[in-house]
Every structure is written in C-alpha cells, then in structure tokens.
C-alpha cells in the first residue's frame, strides 16, 4: 500500500529551570483545505543561522536549549558533528571537518536557502574519526551542509561567492580510529537529536515540499517566533496541468510541464530547444553574439556560472517565432493580456500601454533578488507570490558577450510586431510591482514561453 503522510511532529526541548517541551505539528493543505502529503519539511532557525531538512519517514527532530558552552562542546563531540566550514564565505570551494564517533552509514546533503537539494553523497560505512570534506558549488548564495547518521543530524551554514565548477562533496582525508580519542559521552543520543542551538523566542521558518505529478512543489514559507506548541499549516498551491496535455516535448526531447490558466494552456517552464519545430538547427550565438533581424539565434546558459535548469535559453525574435513545438506557438501581445487579466490584481491598470496590473509577483517563481516592496517578484514571502504558478524566473539578459542581471529581471517575446524592426515584449523586474509591456529590437535575445494552439 502506498505510504503518504499529512503531518510532521517536531519535538523541541529546551531547558530553563526545568525542561520545557514544544511540539509542532505540520500539515500540508491546498487552496481547498485538502490535505497535501509532505515528502520533507525544511526547518530553519533564522535567529541562530542554521537549517535542518526532515525527510519522510524521519519526522521527529529534538532540539535542546544550549545555554552552556561546556554542554554544547560535550554534546558536539559525543555525537555526529560538523565544524564550521573554512573559509566562509568562500569562492567556489570550502572545507569542513566531520566528527564521527560511531562507524556506520553517513549521508551528506547540500541544500540551498529554499531547501532544494543541490548535492548529496552517501558513505557506507564511514569509520570513526575526523573526516575532512571538500565542498564545491557552482552558484553564489547561501547553502546548508547537513550530515545524517542513525537519526542524528548536524548542519552548517555556508556562503558561496563564486563558481567552483560544479556541485560536489568529497572526503579528502581522515584521522583514523587508532588516532582518535573522543571526549567522554555525557548524553544518550537518540533518533532525531540535533546539535544545533535553539532558544524559546527564536524566529523560525518552515517550508514543506510535496511531489505532484512527478514534480516537487514548495509550500509558502511560514515564518514566526516559536514559543509554544501549535499546529503549523503549510499552504500549497497545486498546479492544474492542461487536461489533455499535462506535458509537452520539444524537438530536442526536452519535457515541459503545462499549466491551465483560464482557458489557455501554457508551458510552465522557459523554452530550451536548439532546433526549430521542423528539426532545423538554430544558430548558436552564445560566444559570438548576433544582431540579425531575420536569422534565428539562441543563447545557451549551460556554460555560464549563472546556469540554472529553469532559465531555459534566450532567443532572438526570428528564433522565438519558429522554436515552439508543433501544436504550440509564441503567444501574441493580446494572448498575454488575456492571461494577465485573470492573474494579476487591479485589472483596471491593464488598459495602460506600459504596465500590466499591480502584483507582478503572482506570476514569478524562484531566484529573484529580495525586495521589501509588496507584491513585486522579489517579495517571495508574500502569501500571493507565484499564486498563478506561472513561475517566471529571472533569466537576466545577454549583453556584449556575457549573461548579466541574473536575479534582477527577465523578458519574454510576444509574436506581435511593431514596425519592421520591433516586436512587443513582457518584462519583469525584481522590485517593480507591474508587468512591463513595451516593444524592443527583434535581434535582442529574450526568454520564450509557448502557448498551445
């Protein structure tokens, strides 16, 4: 029988004069208040700067108030423990020491700030000792390295500033069991105990992840001060694929999920094909660039340090017009308008020639630079952020031989022309509340979303 679950209980223990227990019960719910099965929950202590990921069926995490330095040190050495990485921040490569007091299977997982797994390695078995671990990362940002063994976990927060050539975890060296003398064990270590510090009143963040139609979907982020036992509802927006076309495959064999918005069937991801719908290769202008109004060109992110699988490729307008799969097309300016009218707020603004609506964040997904303005793409903590699940990503743009402004903006071509050298576009910026509508030169590269015929 298939196993699912609808809640995760985390036991948070902290000591004052006497031990106090805080029990959190997590439940996933969709917009109709139906249960959503959770595959994992990412728990972050924003006050202390650490993160744990709870994987089903390992659903219990015990945290103890580390009010004494001596107590912390003995707990760390008496159980699985990661030292803080060095250097930190780092430029692509850093090193961490892992203290293992009992031989056995150990898993190492790297997650980004959203809880998405970007690297993992399992070691079976790992011997007692202090192991030096090399971590390399290809993209800048905040990451967490977590070690897990027999229900015990330890994690460290890492800040990467450059491209290390890929995401990898490797053990470089070990102090063997004959050379290792751990401090006396002072506590019984049981399933779900973490060495990370917690104090009542810390600000916590909780994010649930579920799997729907083979795709991982993240809940809205729940951030709050933690003081007492409670039920935490993790709200999910579950995408509705097109009924008779839940996925579509391009000429290169790339698979895309679809999304039903009103009566329109859209791709949920940016196009990333290298051929037109008839199988003819498009010109690759990634290294040389091109300024053609008629020849089709694309620009490939895969060799760039800002590579991200959801960014797709950039296309000049001639390529955008022929690259969508058979049965699909580049949407017109009006077809974009129809979609926007059902998704953004304040639809009266849609009559404006420049800005569409006043809540662009409803159409945007991950990766945007943060902004404190309400409803903009960078306002990712807004409960309405990406409410449409259109998930526009900040692909940036190509200029003078390089990709720039990743995290800041993105542009999409429409099929509608303006004069002989221009076509209409849609533009999103991390700190702008509206969707920008204007025309641009057809030779410029932009992202493409396809619409079903």
* Residues whose CB falls within 8 Å of the CB of residue 216, separated by 6 or more in sequence, listed in order: 39, 116, 209, 210
- Give the residue from 192, 226, 258 where a domain finishes: 192
Same domain, yes or no: 308 and 443: yes
With vertex at residue 128, the alpha carbon angle to CA 193 and CA 147, rounded to the nearest 5 degrees, is 40
The three-state secondary structure class of 399 is strand
Same domain, yes or no: 286 and 430: yes
- pLDDT tens column, 223-232: 888 887 778 8
* Residues whose CB falls within 8 Å of the CB of residue 199, separated by 6 or more in sequence, listed in order: 14, 47, 48, 65, 67
* Residues whose CB falls within 8 Å of the CB of residue 90, separated by 6 or more in sequence, listed in order: 158, 159, 160, 161, 162
Question: Could you tell me which residues are beta bridge partners of residue 382?
Answer: none
Residues 287 and 402: their CA atoms lie apart, in Å, by 8
Q: How many domains does the chain have?
A: 3
Residues 169 and 192: their CA atoms lie apart, in Å, by 23
Q: Are 409 and 428 in contact (CB under 8 A)?
A: yes
Question: Could you tell me which residues are beta bridge partners of residue 120?
Answer: 109
Same domain, yes or no: 341 and 428: yes
pLDDT reported for residue 258: 95
Residues 79 and 189: their CA atoms lie apart, in Å, by 7
* Residues whose CB falls within 8 Å of the CB of residue 73, separated by 6 or more in sequence, listed in order: 183
Same domain, yes or no: 85 and 137: yes
Same domain, yes or no: 300 and 425: yes
Residues 250 and 448: their CA atoms lie apart, in Å, by 13
Residues 233 and 206: their CA atoms lie apart, in Å, by 10
Same domain, yes or no: 203 and 287: no
Residues 267 and 256: their CA atoms lie apart, in Å, by 6
Instruction: For 216-251, give the DSSP string.
Output: EEEPPPEEEE--S-EEEEEE------BTTBSEEE-T
The three-state secondary structure class of 47 is coil
Of residues 426, 414, 190, the one with CA closest to residue 320: 414
- pLDDT tens column, 287-338: 777 778 899 999 886 655 444 557 889 999 999 999 999 999 999 999 999 9
Same domain, yes or no: 263 and 356: yes
Same domain, yes or no: 3 and 98: no
**Residue-range definition of the domain harbouring residue 232:** 1-63+197-238
The three-state secondary structure class of 79 is coil
CATH number for 33: 2.60.40
Residues 316 and 290: their CA atoms lie apart, in Å, by 9
Same domain, yes or no: 122 and 214: no
Same domain, yes or no: 312 and 444: yes
pLDDT reported for residue 33: 82
- Give the residue from 238, 267, 294 where a domain finishes: 238
Same domain, yes or no: 143 and 176: yes
Cis peptide leading into 57, omega within 30 of 0? yes
CATH number for 120: 2.60.40.2550
Same domain, yes or no: 55 and 70: no
- Give the residue from 179, 205, 238 where a domain finishes: 238
pLDDT reported for residue 68: 39
State the chain's mean pLDDT as an integer. 80
CB atoms within 10 A of CB 433: 22
pLDDT reported for residue 38: 85
pLDDT reported for residue 226: 85
Residues 100 and 182: their CA atoms lie apart, in Å, by 9
Looking up tokens 């660039």, which residue turns up? 289
Residues 223 and 234: their CA atoms lie apart, in Å, by 11
Residues of the chain short of pLDDT 50, as ranges, are: 1-19, 67-78, 175-192, 305-307
Of residues 58, 94, 64, 95, the one with CA closest to residue 79: 64
Pairing type for strands 152-160 and 141-149 reads antiparallel
Q: Which two tokens stand for residue 19?
A: 């031990």
Q: Please, what sign has the CA dihedral across residues 159, 163, 166, 168?
A: negative
Residues 81 and 41: their CA atoms lie apart, in Å, by 21
């Amino acid at each position: 029988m298939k196993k699912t679950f609808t809640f995760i209980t985390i036991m948070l223990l902290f000591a004052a004069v006497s031990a106090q227990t805080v029990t959190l019960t997590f439940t996933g719910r969709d917009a109709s208040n139906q249960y959503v099965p959770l595959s994992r929950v990412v728990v972050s202590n924003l006050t202390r700067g650490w993160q744990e990921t709870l994987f089903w069926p390992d659903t219990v995490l015990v945290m103890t108030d580390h009010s004494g330095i001596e107590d912390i040190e003995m707990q760390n050495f008496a159980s699985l423990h990661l030292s803080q990485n060095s250097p930190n921040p780092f430029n692509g490569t850093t090193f961490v020491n892992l203290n293992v007091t009992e031989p056995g299977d150990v898993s190492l997982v790297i997650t980004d700030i959203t809880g998405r797994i970007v690297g993992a390695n399992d070691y079976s078995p790992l011997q007692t000792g202090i192991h030096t671990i090399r971590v390399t990362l290809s993209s800048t940002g905040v990451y967490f390295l977590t070690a897990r063994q027999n229900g015990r976990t330890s994690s460290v927060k890492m800040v990467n500033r450059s491209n290390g050539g890929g995401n990898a975890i490797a053990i470089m060296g070990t102090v063997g069991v004959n050379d290792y003398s751990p401090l006396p064990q002072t506590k019984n270590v049981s399933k779900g105990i973490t060495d990370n510090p917690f104090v009542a009143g810390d600000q916590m963040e909780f994010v649930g992840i579920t799997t729907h139609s083979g795709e991982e979907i993240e809940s809205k982020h729940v951030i709050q001060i933690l003081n007492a036992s409670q039920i935490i509802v993790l709200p999910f927006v579950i995408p509705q694929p097109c009924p008779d076309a839940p996925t579509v495959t391009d000429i290169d064999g790339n698979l895309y999920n679809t999304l039903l918005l009103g009566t329109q069937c859209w791709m949920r991801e940016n196009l990333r094909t290298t051929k037109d719908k008839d199988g003819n290769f498009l010109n690759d202008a990634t290294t040389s660039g091109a300024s053609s109004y008629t020849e089709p060109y694309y620009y490939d992110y895969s060799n760039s340090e800002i590579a991200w699988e959801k960014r797709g490729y950039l296309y000049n307008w001639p390529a955008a017009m022929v690259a969508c799969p058979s049965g699909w097309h580049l949407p017109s300016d009006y077809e974009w308008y129809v979609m926007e009218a059902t998704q953004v707020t304040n639809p009266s603004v849609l009559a404006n020639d420049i800005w569409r609506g006043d809540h662009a964040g409803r159409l945007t997904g991950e990766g945007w630079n943060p902004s404190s303005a309400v409803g903009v793409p960078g306002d990712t903590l807004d409960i309405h952020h990406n409410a449409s699940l259109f998930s526009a990503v900040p692909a940036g743009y190509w200029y003078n031989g390089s990709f720039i402004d990743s995290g800041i903006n993105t542009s999409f071509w429409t099929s509608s022309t303006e004069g002989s050298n221009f076509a209409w576009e849609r533009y999103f910026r991390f700190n702008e509340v509206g969707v920008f509508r204007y025309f641009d030169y057809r030779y410029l590269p932009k992202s493409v979303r396809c619409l079903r015929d």
